[in-house]
């Protein structure tokens, strides 16, 4: 004990590199593809704690699928997966452009993260419910939801399924297992756990999936959700998409000293895994493993997808203000579309020519959907939802003050 203690220092984690610097991911350990064990789904979570610190990978550098997590998808399913990711990328590019053209106020891209939501969707069955954030449109694309309905919502036009009452891209599609997106981060986790608990209480067979980003794990809802999920062994998969950045804050701010985001689950006794989020095959294998646990009353699983947000946070963001412009080129896990493409070419199931041809077909389909959506209006032109719609759909019976407001508005 000293009478003259040194002044305390306030600690703020700093990213390795700032704009102008040379990107460096040499401190991100990447295990070899195929090197992580695949435990049985009924494993005791206490015996697989190392999986929260490793990275499950299937596709190696050469493009081969290797190790115990390989082999969960048929050739046709892999080809379909590639198509889904390519569709999401093209959809994003067109909608990003539409925002710049003033046809919508706001857009959020998935560039670099396409494998996460597209592959995860294929591990679910009809009736399961996702509680997604704004960066999981792949759940809809891979689930066969019509692109034109997504665009109608983005344009808030007369065919907008949500009638102009949500922010663009905040889709809602109950029949497609896609709960209304909430802009309030991490509400997804408590809602998913609550929904899963209700499913178990009712003796139903459906499971829930909660989604958050790395930054959003800092919300108290994240921790509350883990308490309830672990205590009641809720049939839920809890996904953390670690794309290295929140908006301008790097992942180290939310992660603190925990080592990894997945490791947050260990203190709760929750099975926790990390997976290469740019590896379609690995994402699917882990998603299937976690979903099977939930479906068999084995409890929740926390999954961290290690990936990289290549684009801006949203159309309102300029990442060059806080990270080197070339940082995404240095990301060691590559591009999910190219990695699956190379794998399929290597196996003789695909070719550069077919890839180019498919790109053109997809672009044509996206443009056709866009034309159809635009015929029903865009943000500033054409058909709009009725003003009357904003009074509907919240209360079973409209309260008197809303009825008065509606009368005053003359609708
Ligand atoms: C409760 C809450 N706090 C802050 C925000 C503002 N906000 C929107 S997105 C975002 C960053 C989230 O980063 P992350 O969770 O890593 O997800 P990503 O955007 O990278 O997919 C913030 C701070 C919000 N929407 N809700
Ligand atoms: Mg993030």
Give the tens place of pLDDT for each residue, 170-223: 999 999 999 999 999 999 999 999 999 999 999 999 999 999 999 999 999 999
Atom of ligand 1 nearest to the CA of 241: 21
CB of 110 shorter than 6 A to ligand 1: no
* Sheet order of strands, 129-131 included: 129-131, 208-213, 236-242, 301-306, 271-276
CB of 139 shorter than 6 A to ligand 1: no
Tell me what pLDDT residue 299 has. Answer: 98
Tell me what pLDDT residue 86 has. Answer: 99
Tell me what pLDDT residue 1 has. Answer: 64
* Residue that is written with structure tokens 């954030």 in the block: 133
Which residue's CA is minimally distant from atom 4 of ligand 1? 185
Q: What is the mean pLDDT of residues 57-64?
A: 98
70 to 59, 331, 387: CA distances (angstroms): 8, 23, 52
Q: Which of 169, 216, 251, 314 to mutate to test the pocket of ligand 1 (most atoms within 8 A of CB)?
A: 216
Atom of ligand 1 nearest to the CA of 186: 1
pLDDT at 395 over 70: yes
Atom of ligand 1 nearest to the CA of 314: 19
CB of 316 shorter than 6 A to ligand 1: no
The answer to whether residues 283 and 241 touch, using CB atoms and an 8 Å cutoff, is no
Nearest residue to 213 (alpha-carbon basis) of 253, 154, 170: 253
pLDDT band at 151 (very low <50, low <70, confident <90, very high): very high
pLDDT band at 398 (very low <50, low <70, confident <90, very high): very high
pLDDT at 13 over 80: yes
Higher pLDDT, 257 or 282: 282
Tell me what pLDDT residue 287 has. Answer: 99
pLDDT band at 135 (very low <50, low <70, confident <90, very high): very high
Which ligand sits nearest to residue 243's alpha carbon? 2
Measured in degrees and rounded to the nearest 5, phi and psi for residue 208 equal -115, 160
CB of 215 shorter than 6 A to ligand 1: yes
| 304-353 pLDDT per residue, tens | 999 999 999 999 999 999 999 999 999 999 999 999 999 999 999 999 99
Tell me what pLDDT residue 340 has. Answer: 98
Tell me what pLDDT residue 27 has. Answer: 83
pLDDT at 7 over 90: yes
The helix (H) or strand (E) run that includes residue 208 is strand 208-213
CB of 328 shorter than 6 A to ligand 1: no
- Of all residues in the chain, the percent with pLDDT exceeding 90 is 95
CB of 255 shorter than 6 A to ligand 1: no
Q: What is the mean pLDDT of residues 246-270?
A: 95
Find the 75 Cα to ligand 1 centroid distance in Å: 37
Find the 30 Cα to ligand 1 centroid distance in Å: 26
Residue 95 in tokens = 């909608």
CB of 287 shorter than 6 A to ligand 1: no
pLDDT band at 258 (very low <50, low <70, confident <90, very high): confident
Q: Write the DSSP assignment of 240-308 as a string of letters.
A: EEE-SBSSSSBHHHHHTTSSSSGGGGGGGT-EEEEEETT-HHHHHHHHHHHHHHHHTT---EEEEEE--
CB of 137 shorter than 6 A to ligand 1: no
Find the 182 Cα to ligand 1 centroid distance in Å: 11
Find the 332 Cα to ligand 1 centroid distance in Å: 24
Which ligand sits nearest to residue 218's alpha carbon? 1
Find the 304 Cα to ligand 2 centroid distance in Å: 11
Which ligand sits nearest to residue 215's alpha carbon? 1
Q: Which of 108, 109, 185, 210 to mutate to test the pocket of ligand 1 (most atoms within 8 A of CB)?
A: 185
Atom of ligand 1 nearest to the CA of 313: 19
CA torsion sign, 210 to 216 to 221 to 223?
Answer: positive
Which residue's CA is minimally distant from atom 3 of ligand 1? 185
pTM of the prediction? 0.97
Residue 250 pairs with which residues in a beta bridge? 245
Tell me what pLDDT residue 393 has. Answer: 84
CB of 216 shorter than 6 A to ligand 1: yes
The answer to whether residues 287 and 120 touch, using CB atoms and an 8 Å cutoff, is yes
CB of 247 shorter than 6 A to ligand 1: yes
Find the 245 Cα to ligand 2 centroid distance in Å: 4
Q: What is the mean pLDDT of residues 20-30?
A: 92
Which ligand sits nearest to residue 183's alpha carbon? 1
Atom of ligand 1 nearest to the CA of 217: 15
């Amino acid at each position: 004990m000293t009478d003259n203690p040194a002044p305390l220092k306030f600690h703020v984690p700093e990213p390795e590199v700032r704009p102008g610097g040379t990107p460096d991911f040499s401190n991100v350990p990447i295990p070899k593809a195929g090197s992580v064990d695949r435990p049985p789904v009924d494993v005791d979570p206490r015996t697989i704690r190392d999986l929260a610190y490793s990275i499950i990978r299937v596709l190696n550098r050469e493009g081969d699928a290797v190790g115990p997590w390989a082999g969960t998808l048929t050739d046709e399913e892999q080809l379909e997966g590639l198509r889904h990711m390519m569709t999401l990328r093209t959809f994003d590019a067109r909608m990003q452009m539409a925002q710049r053209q003033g046809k919508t106020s706001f857009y959020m891209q998935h560039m670099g993260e396409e494998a996460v939501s597209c592959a995860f969707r294929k591990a679910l069955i009809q009736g399961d419910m996702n509680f997604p954030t704004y960066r999981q449109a792949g759940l809809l694309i891979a689930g066969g939801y019509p692109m034109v309905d997504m665009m109608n919502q983005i344009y808030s036009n007369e065919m907008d399924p949500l009638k102009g009452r949500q922010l663009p891209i905040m889709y809602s599609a109950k029949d497609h297992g896609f709960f209304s997106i909430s802009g309030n981060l991490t509400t997804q986790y408590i809602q998913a756990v609550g929904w899963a608990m209700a499913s178990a209480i009712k003796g139903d067979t459906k499971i829930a999936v909660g989604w958050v980003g790395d930054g959003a794990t800092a919300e108290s809802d994240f921790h509350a959700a883990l308490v309830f999920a672990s205590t009641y062994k809720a049939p839920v998969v809890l996904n953390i998409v670690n794309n290295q950045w929140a908006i301008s804050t790097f992942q180290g701010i939310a992660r603190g000293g925990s080592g990894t985001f997945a490791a947050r689950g260990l203190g709760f006794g929750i099975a926790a895994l990390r997976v290469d989020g740019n590896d379609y095959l690995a994402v699917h294998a882990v998603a299937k493993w976690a979903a099977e646990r939930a479906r068999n009353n084995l409890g929740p699983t926390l999954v961290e997808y290690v990936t990289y947000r290549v684009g801006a946070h949203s159309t309102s963001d300029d990442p060059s203000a806080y990270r080197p412009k070339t940082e995404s080129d240095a990301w060691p896990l590559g591009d999910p579309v190219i990695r699956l493409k190379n794998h399929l070419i290597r196996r003789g199931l695909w070719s550069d020519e077919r890839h180019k041809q498919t790109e053109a077909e997809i672009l044509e389909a996206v443009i056709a959907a866009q034309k159809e959506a635009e015929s029903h209006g865009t943000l500033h032109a054409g058909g709009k939802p009725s003003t009357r719609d904003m009074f509907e759909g919240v209360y079973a019976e409209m309260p008197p003050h809303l009825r008065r407001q509606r009368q005053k508005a003359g609708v």
